[in-house]
Amino acid sequence: MAYSLFVVQPKVKRYFGADQGGREALVAVIASGNRWKVIGLIAAIAVTGLGMLLIDHRGWWIHAVKGLLLIAASGIFWYVSWRHWPQRVFATAAELPVLQRRLVVLASVMLGLAGLAFALGVVAEHL
């Protein structure tokens, strides 16, 4: 997510310049088919988190917070996958800048949630 947000997206924007149609076409190709892979990863994260909680439940509250962060990130992912992308695919040229900015905000929030969950995992290891 960080690589896409801070490396791929800026390079695609720079490469295509004013050609928003070309840019959107490439971004749609890059994003195509990733939805179910991400859902699988979310499920794997949830299962391993539950497994870790069953093995050692001393830091249960950290697992609960991480679970809430996963639910929040999953909600954002749902919105992006089933609402935002269809809007973006069918957007007019005038609508695209707002949708592009919205995706940057949503991706940044998801990255922050993932970073916070990672930090909580480190804290849990040292309790």
Cα–Cα distance between 57 and 50 in angstroms, integer? 10
pLDDT for residue 84: 94
Please state, for a pLDDT cut of 70, what percent of the chain lies above it.
100
Cβ(1)–Cβ(110) below 8 Å? yes
Instruction: Report residue 10 as tokens.
Output: 């800026």
Q: What is the pLDDT of residues 49-78, one digit of tens each?
A: 999 889 988 889 999 999 999 999 999 999
Domain ranges of the chain: 2-125
Q: What is the mean pLDDT of residues 30-36?
A: 89
pTM (predicted TM-score): 0.86
